[in-house]
Structure 1
């Protein structure tokens, strides 16, 4: 692990791999304001103090059993569903089955508040980002990029391959904590009931 400056109010732990980053995050999360990245941990605070804190800490083994599980109901009608099927050699139905058929884990968050990078899904769904990002992706859009899946917490630009949409509130400042999906959370996708059925239940 390399300890690097990050402006005048933080230091950055540059780790060898995601496992080491998660171990350092687990060691520091209760003692400092930290953000976990793919292979980094950002520790906010006065640099000299945060360096002392990091130097005194030791990486902590991370439990392989997530503390919580979240189920996201998805309407699979995304504009890139056919393209994902073409890229993977699967049918559209097989893409949906693969996406819902495995459990995903929140590896880290970033890009936008509440945006979680999910790993551990079916490897057949590894697809590249779009050649041309969209200037506007709606809140709740569910997509794929490389080995990751994720859902956009708010409208923003984005280059992920969009499979569908969820109505889940992924980021809410009135909630504690605001993010629905946090590192260590397990996520399952399921096919949302038809809208007609939802209207009958309302």
Structure 2
């Protein structure tokens, strides 16, 4: 058991960022997930949303509600001194610091086994589904089958959800697959496209511009606004890519469409 190292800073006028580390690692992912659970169990009136990233947690809050609630508590207790100079961020910072200073990191268990369930993502790597697969293979001077073999051999922890709703940033990719992003991004990428960007791999949840190298596509819907939670994957989950044929892809795609009707 150890004390939690952290730093806080504002993000605009209605959010606070808690930084828990510097590097992208399993240890920091574990720490972020622990603190997320802790904060969710100590949710404050006026908080709106909590967003976990590689090494940070951002809390968005309603500045007016925080200020009105906190100022009322201050006046009720008679602690009026300095109240006029305080911003909503100041009240949130005090609350967060009190929570985190009292928090003790559970580092007594192994990190393995602490991540979420393994979720299998079916991916078709055939021609037409992975338009950059051959280019990635040429870049590494191997066959396309070798790229697929490397990509499906790992289990990937979900480090962050962003830049679009439901987009998972996955860690743990084989270093041999690291490939630079495209020099000219595409203006439209099909939903479900599986890509490589630098040393990471991820999945585009819906049609969007992007510059990652596309090596396959899944028929699964990663972002479902009609379901709670809307993102199929959550920070701390694990992903395993499973190869499917184009026939299986279309069958699963049709199954998703009929299920939505």
Q: TM-score, normalised by structure 2?
A: 0.70
- Root mean square deviation, CA, Å: 2.4
Q: Which runs of 5+ in 2 are unaligned?
A: 1-5, 44-48, 67-88, 256-261
The answer on 1:39 being equivalent to 2:87 is no
Distance 1:87 1:25 in 2: 36
Contact 2:32/2:55, CA 8 A, preserved across alignment: no
The answer on 1:50 being equivalent to 2:92 is yes
Q: Which runs of 5+ in 1 are unaligned?
A: none
Larger radius of gyration: 2
Structure 1 pair 59–167 and aligned structure 2 pair: CA distance change class (3 A)? farther
Give aligned pairs, total.
Answer: 201
- 1:171: which partner in 2? 223
Contact 1:44/1:50, CA 8 A, preserved across alignment: no
Structure 1 pair 121–11 and aligned structure 2 pair: CA distance change class (3 A)? same
Contact 1:140/1:153, CA 8 A, preserved across alignment: yes
The structure carrying a bigger helix percent of its residues is 2
Structure 1, 124-133 or 38-47: larger mean CA deviation: 38-47
Structure 1 pair 67–78 and aligned structure 2 pair: CA distance change class (3 A)? same
- 2:73: which partner in 1? none
Structure 1 pair 96–34 and aligned structure 2 pair: CA distance change class (3 A)? same
- 1:95: which partner in 2? 147
Structure 1, 173-182 or 93-102: larger mean CA deviation: 173-182
Please state whether the residue corresponding to 1:41 is helix, strand or coil: strand
Give deviations 1:142-179, integer Å, cap 9, x for gaps. Answer: 10111211110111110000001101110112222111
Poorly superposed stretches of 4+, deviation over 3 Å: 18-22, 58-64, 196-199
